[in-house]
Structure 1
Amino acid sequence: MEPIRNIGILTAGGDCGGLNAVVRAAAKIAVARNIGAYIIPSGYAGLYNLVDYDELVRLDDERIDHVHSSFAGSEAGHSRVKISKIKNPDKYRRILEGLRKFDIGGLVISGGDDTGSVMVDLTENGIPCVHAPKTMDLDLHTYSVGGDSAINKIAHFVNEIQTTGKTHNRIMVVEVFGRYTGHTAFRGGVASDADCILIPEIPVDFDVVYDHMKRHYMRRILRSDLRSGTYTIVVAEGIRDEKGHLFADDSASLDSFGHVKLAGAGRYVRQCLEERLRRDEEIERFLKRVGMYVPDVFTSPEVREVVPGHLVRSGSTFAYDVNFGKEAGAAAVLLLLQGLSGVTVLSVNGGEIRYISTKEAIRRREVDLRIVSFYEQMDICFGRVPVPCAPLFAEGPGVQDRVY
């Protein structure tokens, strides 16, 4: 293998905090080793069209100064393109020609499972790549850039919404990202003292949710000297009912990776609760007892859904993601220089760079239901009858790689 004189830096998939830290650190360590670092813009779309570019942005010291690690999103830009779906039979040769045109000997690619699957495909077709893991969904088998920032923002929004919930005695439903796994909904909900957290790993029994909501909501208002209370639910967009059905609009389309563009989980939860509230005769008696009932005007508590959406991806990056992003970006370059390809950065512990195969890293990792049972002991509802938790006790072997 010839020595690498230049690297390409590419980001793809969903945007999130920490990506610019990856870009900045990868460029910094390349420059320190007299290796050129070039941005390949617009993700895999830019990689496919690289051969047609007249020039690329080189990240020298001056240009790197304009890449701010604390900004979310990516200076390199993104697209959702699955290379294997391109019908051009010469697509891999075209990509290799583009890399040769700019004398790029390897790629640092930051993305999640979809991005990683494309990277595996590129590697198998002779394109050297190393993966800096990125996904706020935290469903890879390593910590991923963006997770901590998203969790903190979810927790912040859920905490904030409780003030309006309490003011109006509303039940608040906050819908957040999480197609197949509920890591960010789970951790964000725990951090914000949410009463109920609904995640894709657990089919939702709405009767259980309603009973938990009713008990806590009524207790808070009855014990408040001002008859004030709220109840908060965090729901991942990918939740399913007891039959395994997703909650998505009938008009929902597919993205380039074949995933349904989800929408409506929060609204569905709201509707299920509203229906039960209207049918429950005890609710009318309760509202009359606390002086809230108004005939034909206010006959059941309000349920509101809120969707912060891309706000949890955007804006600023939290410190942990900056640190991990820099370590992952720099380590990816060093792995490339060692002649490694098709691997994902796991961690940097002291002077040791740990990595695993990208095929292994991108296998979906779901929320461990044993930790859910642990939190059910603290009276958080997860949309099911609580499962008993019998923890084991063991002395730890030492510091391990962080995975939420």
Structure 2
Amino acid sequence: MKKIGVLTSGGDSPGMNAAIRAVVRSAIYHGIDVVGIKRGYQGLISGDIMSMDLGSVADIIHRGGTVLYTARCEEFKTEEGQQKALATIREHGIDGIVVVGGDGSYRGALALSQKGIPTIGLPGTIDNDIPCTDFTIGFDTAINTVIDAIDKIRDTATSHERTYVVEVMGRHAGDIALWAGVAGGAESIMIPEDPANIDSMVEKLKRGAARGKKHSIILVAEGVGKGFEIGEQIREKTGWETRVTVLGHIQRGGSPTAFDRTLASRMGSMAVDLLMKGEGGKAVGILGGVLQAHDIERVLVTPRKPNMSLYSLASILSI
């Protein structure tokens, strides 16, 4: 292993820069050259590649986003696109690649591995929707961003005695809503894994109002439905003034938390270790606090299991 490439793909997430930094510095420590592939698989096809040294990753561990930029690339899904990428890899003498991204990025990493290029995937997504890992890079930062917003919204909800619906990201997974809802003391949490019946949620709100509760926060994962539609249903069924906040892409940005910086650093270093051992087609994850490597193919076919015990706890605590 003489030269490693690193790229970020799909949606950005806080901590990607920490992962890039760890890959670059760990590789250089072991005497391996590193190149950065800009704009994900699109850069691999077009040859948008730069040499990286220790200075290339100085002062980036605290920055959100990705210094290598990111993009979605439909062309790489085709055989022709993959052949262009292989030509770029051969031209630059790249022996192995580290890919930081979500499930779409993992599919690209698997394709490269199947074509003989040792590739390691790191779970970089705020959605926490990658199987075989308890946490993904960026998730902790995202839920802290949501918690900060909930705390501010609750101040207004309390002052005006209103019900607020807060829609958060997560695609088809409800982890952002679930974890932020528990930590933020939301009265109701709606996740796609177990979408709450709107009538039962309204009854819960009415019970709270009957005992004197004057405001409520309802957290809705985008995989359940649109916050504005749910807010309108609540208003129709209760007659209460309801406000809706869609947090949107602020959840992706910001300086990564200490947890995300550390997780990304550990995973990036492990990716280099795996490539040095001649392994490819692997995805790094963390289970029970221990880093592990799983076949990417296994990760892509493993059903994702949400933390339903946490969901049950949310129901108990928001009684």
TM-score by length of 2: 0.93
Match of 1:133 among 123, 131, 144: 123
Q: Read off the aligned partner of 2:215 and give its amino acid letter.
A: T
Distance 1:70 1:302 in 2: 40
- SS of the residue aligned with 2:61? coil
Aligned length: 316
Asked if residue 320 in structure 1 is aligned to residue 259 in structure 2, the reply is: yes
Distance 1:73 1:131 in 2: 18
Asked if residue 27 in structure 1 is aligned to residue 17 in structure 2, the reply is: no
Q: Which residue of 2 aligns with 1:393?
A: none
Q: Which residue of 1 aligns with 2:183?
A: 191
Cα deviation for residue 353 of structure 1 reads: 5.6
Distance 2:212 2:102 in 1: 41
Distance 2:103 2:291 in 1: 21
Deviations 1:329-355 (A, max 9, x none): 1111111111100101124999x8631
Distance 2:127 2:298 in 1: 17
Q: Which residue of 2 aligns with 1:344?
A: 283
Q: Which runs of 5+ in 1 are unaligned?
A: 222-228, 240-246, 248-264, 279-300, 381-404
Cα deviation for residue 179 of structure 1 reads: 1.9
Query: Which one is further off, 92-101 or 26-35?
Result: 92-101
Q: Read off the aligned partner of 2:186 and give its amino acid letter.
A: A
Superposition map of 1:175-214 within 5 A: 175-214=167-206
User: Greater Rg, structure 1 or structure 2?
Assistant: 1
Cα deviation for residue 152 of structure 1 reads: 1.2
Q: Is the 8 A contact 2:64 2:255 kept in 1?
A: yes
Distance 2:210 2:287 in 1: 49
Q: Read off the aligned partner of 2:283 and give its amino acid letter.
A: T
Distance 2:262 2:96 in 1: 23
Cα deviation for residue 93 of structure 1 reads: 2.4
Q: Read off the aligned partner of 1:340 and give its amino acid letter.
A: E
Asked if residue 124 in structure 1 is aligned to residue 114 in structure 2, the reply is: yes
CA RMSD of aligned residues (A): 2.0
Return closer, same or farther for 1:153/1:47 CA change in 2, 3 Å cut-off. same
Q: Is the 8 A contact 2:188 2:315 kept in 1?
A: no
Superposition map of 1:5-404 within 5 A: 5-50=2-47, 53=48, 56-66=49-59, 68-83=60-75, 85-86=77-78, 89-140=79-130, 141-142=132-133, 143-221=135-213, 229-239=214-224, 247=225, 265-278=226-239, 301-347=240-286, 354-362=292-300, 363-379=302-318
Distance 1:22 1:267 in 2: 36
Cα deviation for residue 123 of structure 1 reads: 1.4
Cα deviation for residue 149 of structure 1 reads: 0.8
Cα deviation for residue 122 of structure 1 reads: 1.9
Query: Which one is further off, 37-46 or 119-128?
Result: 119-128
Q: Is the 8 A contact 1:139 1:364 kept in 2?
A: no
Cα deviation for residue 112 of structure 1 reads: 1.2
- SS of the residue aligned with 1:367? coil
Q: Which residue of 2 aligns with 1:292?
A: none
Q: Is the 8 A contact 1:179 1:200 kept in 2?
A: no
Distance 1:182 1:379 in 2: 17
> What is the aligned-residue identity percentage?
31
Q: Is the 8 A contact 2:100 2:123 kept in 1?
A: yes
Cα deviation for residue 212 of structure 1 reads: 0.9
- SS of the residue aligned with 1:8? strand
Cα deviation for residue 204 of structure 1 reads: 3.0
The structure that is strand-richer by fraction is 2
Q: Is the 8 A contact 1:176 1:235 kept in 2?
A: yes
Deviations 1:142-181 (A, max 9, x none): 0211111111111111111101111111101110012211
Cα deviation for residue 83 of structure 1 reads: 4.9
Return closer, same or farther for 1:162/1:133 CA change in 2, 3 Å cut-off. same
Q: Is the 8 A contact 1:171 1:304 kept in 2?
A: yes
Cα deviation for residue 135 of structure 1 reads: 1.8
Cα deviation for residue 98 of structure 1 reads: 0.3
Query: Which one is further off, 203-212 or 184-193?
Result: 203-212
TM-score by length of 1: 0.74
Q: Is the 8 A contact 1:92 1:125 kept in 2?
A: no
Q: Which runs of 5+ in 2 are unaligned?
A: none
Q: Read off the aligned partner of 2:244 and give its amino acid letter.
A: E
Q: Is the 8 A contact 2:185 2:318 kept in 1?
A: no
